[in-house]
Amino acid sequence: MFGTVSTVPELATRSASVRMSIRLRGANRLRGKWPCPTSPCLLQQRKRNLRGGSEKGRRRCALNLVVSLLAVSIGAGTQGRAHMPRIGILSYVAAPSGTSQDPRFAGFRKGLRELGYMEKKNILIELRYAEGQPDRLAAQAAELVQLNVDVLVAFGPAAREAARKATSTIPIVTVSGSDPIREGWARSFAHPGGNVTGLTVVFPELVPKCLEFLKEAFPAVVRVAVLIDPTEVVDAKEVVQEMDDGARRLGLQLQVLEVRGPNDFDAAFTLARQRNAQALFPLAAVAHRSRLATLALRDHLLSISEFPLMTQAGFLMSYGADLDDLGRRAVTKMDKILKGEHPGDVPIERPTKFQLSINLKTAKALGIEIPRSLLLRANEVIE
């Protein structure tokens, strides 16, 4: 009734023969000699073979058809997975925890959803956080390059520079800096020319605007300590010069304190006290915002920044770009690159949305009042 029953060795031999047949046919098909195993003409032929011929022939034909369809299915699934883009994200700050979130990455996730990207379904994300330690960045950037990510997203100047040193071929999208030409990572805003594009966070006119808000709120302030780390601000000399020009117009005196990481903070604050500084303005230093806010409060310094998330960490006041919006817009850059555009042809953009943020809890701890006119203009008031 069932014909000859094959033994296990016979089935193994037959399966090996079938696999070899499939490989040979696949090779011939690439040369144009064989039709696709699921082509209409071949399927019709196999149906005819199933209807006629010996029992043994029908079983063999059925087995060939099943294995062919299975091979095509597996191949299609593997091809789909192989084309899932892998994105590396390199950040100088600490990994998100509790209420401490990097709005750039939060905005980046929003941008992914808006463009239809779903993590682990049609995109893979590799995260690396330096926790505010610049010596980690080189190794982390190298790891992402070894993973052969399709695009490397760098948050912050230090992360951007580590990424640039690690690769000159993998496209880099950065959210950092103020002047990409002066900082050396682009030929122009319209045509960056290399493997880096993205969005700047600050620009020359922004810092003087922060100082304007400080002077408006506290007209008696004269001496402002400026904390700057060349590791984070690669064009520190030019930035300080631009800042000083704006400060002089407002009758402010800048006291520049250069640091090389958080280990220099205590000495810098000691020097600020000796110079009778009245306010603190750190350039960048986002990764150490909580500690800087605590030290400023201890020394009764009016702390201001160009990054709104500094106010959320305890700074008195900040005015700067909406980092959430910049993170969201970075996805648009990434998307263009994944669709075939060269990063050197994707224009660099500046911030278009800004936030004035005021922390009334810090004001109360300092025993000061913020003018109502300023509070009414604030986008965020922390109470």
Contact criterion met (CB below 8 Å) for 126 and 170: no
Tokens of 126: 């590799």
Question: In terms of Cα–Cα distance, which of 157, 192, 150 is closest to 174?
Answer: 157
Q: CA 77, 80, 82, 88 torsion: positive or negative?
A: negative
Tens-binned pLDDT, residue by residue, of the chain (383 aa): 434 444 444 444 444 444 444 444 444 433 343 344 444 444 455 555 545 555 655 566 555 655 555 554 554 444 444 579 999 999 998 888 766 678 999 999 999 999 999 999 999 999 999 998 889 999 999 999 999 999 999 999 999 999 999 999 999 999 999 999 999 999 999 999 999 999 999 887 898 999 999 999 999 999 999 999 988 888 888 889 989 999 999 999 999 999 998 999 999 999 999 999 999 999 988 889 999 999 999 999 999 999 999 999 999 999 999 999 999 999 999 999 999 999 999 999 999 999 999 999 999 999 999 999 999 999 999 99
Burial label for 367, CB within 10 Å (0-12, 13-18, 19+), is exposed
CA dist., res. 164 & res. 318, Å (int): 30
How many C-alpha atoms does 245 have within 13 Å on its Cβ side?
8
Query: What value does the CA radius of gyration of the chain take, rounded to a whole number of Å?
Result: 30
Rounded alpha-carbon distances, angstroms, from residue 313 to 149, 258, 277, 305, 310:
33, 22, 21, 11, 5
Q: CA 5, 10, 15, 17 torsion: positive or negative?
A: negative
